[in-house]
Amino acid sequence: MSTGLATQLARFASVNKATGLDKRVQDSAMVGIHSALKFTASLVGEWITVHNNVLYYDGSADGTGPLALSQIIARGNAVPLAVAGCGTHGQFRLVYAADGGTDPIINVIGLDPNGELQLLYNRNGSLDCTLLRATTDLRDDYTTPTEYYTTPDDAQTFDLAGSAAIIVAVETVATEAGTVECKLV
């Protein structure tokens, strides 16, 4: 593995680490769940911010690469997430404050244990997905919502393909500010 890729892998592992289910079982009052489980079930998986600003382009225009990972990280929008041993799929959702505008299109990039980059496919077989906002979004307050959440489906669920870490890049920008969150399943 080259020095550059080793550095990237170290950055992925040190920036944001997903917690495995076995760790959460030990740390919380989840009596009766076997602690040898090594996956993060969607029932207990937490949402983690993986992209801070969908107003800025930092991905591949056509979703097929090549992607300059160093440039994506340098922009400061993408937040690397170490996922090794924490789940087989990642679900993504958009968190935003205003209803309306254009929805962002994202790419999910995996870094395998050997330091090789790969674009990941979603359950629909696409390399990218649009984070669609709709009137049925989950809201944090039913009377006066301040944040809206898109509802993930197969298009927003990506196969992690054995990645040690992932990073999300915006292929097409949104017209309203928002962040991207990931939950491992």
**Average pLDDT of the chain?**
76
pTM reported for the whole predicted model: 0.73
pLDDT (0 to 100) of residue 61: 66
Instruction: Decide if pLDDT at 19 tops 50.
Output: yes
pLDDT (0 to 100) of residue 180: 96
Instruction: Decide if pLDDT at 119 tops 60.
Output: yes
Q: What is the domain partition of the chain in residue ranges?
A: 3-184
| pLDDT tens profile 56-82 | 988 776 666 666 777 787 888 888 899
- b or e along 45-54 (b: 16 or more beta carbons within 10 Å of the residue's beta carbon)? beebebbbbb
| pLDDT tens profile 96-115 | 887 677 899 999 999 888 87
The residue with greater pLDDT, 2 or 64, is: 64
Instruction: Decide if pLDDT at 181 tops 90.
Output: yes
Residue 31 pLDDT level (bands cut at 50, 70, 90): very low
